[in-house]
């Protein structure tokens, strides 16, 4: 009996998670795709041939951001919906293709890849979708438990690691890798980060490559691991 009960609980849990995953769906004929809640409650009211390429629902299920493009339009739009009233809060043209959304108490963070390389985090107002802050990192690392965003670089000429408060974009700490290595009597002409790992609460390990500032050694790459806390 106990075994049957456990199997029932497992089936119920899997069914619940699956149904939760499919709560918001894009459906309809090819010429008139719309977004629905629980298959029946229509949220969007797009014109025919609207292209829907992404939808992102807030963890509390009160808001949804849709990345879409009207038929024959040259630019994509992002539209923020209030799911409690199925109404539009704000709409605007984003900079580039959406690669992710984060929801904080104060900002909707719209994430996209830049054409020059790297990732741009746009801190947008929940009422207007206006960009209020931006963070650009060639090598970003997000630590959700610590509420930390780290910006580092593959670029040989940029030698800083920057720590941000992820929820509001405030810069917390900047570490210059050239100065850090000088404290170890390693004198370099440039550095770049190749990997970041979290090794503790607000503690991170960085794999750093560098080139010595020494005649005859300029083209030889060296590696070192550095640890920093915030």
pLDDT in tens, 9-30: 333 333 333 334 548 999 999 9
What is the arithmetic mean of pLDDT over 158-175? 93
Is 11 found in the same domain as 82?
A: yes
Q: H or E element: which one contains 92?
A: strand 87-92
Q: In the predicted model, what is the mean pLDDT of the chain? A: 86
CA distances from 200 to 64, 133, 180 (A): 33, 28, 21
70 close to 53: Cβ distance less than 8 angstroms? no
Residues 33 and 43 sit within 8 Å (Cβ to Cβ): no
pLDDT of residue 157: 58
Whether residue 228 has pLDDT greater than 80: yes
89 and 157 fall within a common domain: no
Examine the fold and report which residue of 98, 133, 164 is the final residue of a domain before the chain moves on.
98
* Average of per-residue pLDDT across 84-100: 91
Residue 155 banded pLDDT, cuts 50, 70, 90? low
Verify that 4 and 77 share a domain, yes or no: yes
- Judge whether 94 lies within some domain: yes
Of 189, 230, 226, the C-alpha closest to 208 is 226
**How much of the chain exceeds pLDDT 70, in percent?**
86
In angstroms, rounded to a whole number, what is the distance separating the alpha carbons of residues 148 and 171? 10
Indicate if 91 and 157 belong to the same structural domain.
no
Q: What is the pLDDT of residue 189?
A: 85
Average pLDDT over every residue of 38-55: 91
**Which two three-digit tokens encode residue 97?**
């293709």
Instruction: Kindly state whether residues 22 and 88 are assigned to the same domain.
Output: yes
| Rounded CA separation 110/115 (Å) | 16
Tell me the per-residue pLDDT of 181-213, one tens digit each, with 9 for 90 and over. Answer: 999 999 998 888 999 999 999 999 999 999 887
Establish if 180 belongs to a structural domain. Answer: yes
CB 68 within 8 A of CB 76: yes
How many CB atoms lie under 10 A from the CB of residue 181? 21
Q: Which phi and psi angles does 115 have, rounded to 5°?
A: -65, -25
The confidence score (pLDDT) of residue 33 equals: 96
Angstrom distance (rounded) from CA 5 to CA 16: 16
The answer to whether residue 78 is domain-embedded is: yes
Whether residue 120 is contained in a domain is answered as no
- Which residues lie across from 161 on neighbouring strands? 175
Tell whether 189 is covered by a domain: yes
Q: Which of 53, 72, 98 is the last residue of a domain?
A: 98
What percentage of residues in the chain have a pLDDT greater than 90?
69
How many beta carbons lie within 10 A of that of residue 182, not counting itself? 13
Structure tokens at 91: 């709409």
pLDDT for the residue numbered 114: 81
Q: How many domains are there within the chain?
A: 2
pLDDT band at 82 (very low <50, low <70, confident <90, very high): very high
Is residue 134 situated within a structural domain? no
* Domain span including residue 30: 1-98
């Amino acid at each position: 009996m106990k075994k049957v009960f456990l199997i029932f609980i497992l089936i119920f849990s899997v069914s619940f998670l699956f149904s939760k995953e499919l709560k918001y769906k894009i459906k309809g004929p090819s010429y008139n795709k719309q977004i629905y809640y629980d298959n029946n409650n229509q949220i969007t009211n797009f014109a025919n041939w609207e292209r829907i390429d992404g939808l992102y629902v807030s963890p509390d299920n009160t808001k949804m951001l849709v990345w879409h493009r009207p038929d024959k339009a040259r630019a994509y739009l992002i539209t923020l919906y209030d799911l409690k009233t199925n109404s539009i809060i704000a709409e605007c043209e984003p900079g580039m293709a959406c690669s992710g959304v984060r929801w904080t108490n104060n900002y909707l963070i719209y994430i996209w890849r830049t054409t020059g390389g790297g990732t741009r985090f746009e801190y947008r107002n929940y009422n207007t979708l206006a960009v209020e802050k931006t963070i650009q990192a060639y090598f970003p690392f997000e630590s959700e438990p610590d509420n930390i965003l780290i910006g580092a670089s593959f670029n040989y000429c940029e030698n800083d690691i920057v720590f941000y408060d992820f929820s509001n974009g405030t810069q917390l700490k900047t570490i210059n890798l050239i100065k850090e290595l000088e404290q170890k009597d390693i004198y370099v002409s440039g550095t770049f980060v190749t990997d970041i790992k979290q090794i503790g609460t607000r503690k991170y390990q960085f794999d750093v490559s560098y080139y010595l500032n020494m005649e005859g050694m300029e083209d030889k790459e060296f590696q070192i691991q550095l640890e920093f806390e915030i």
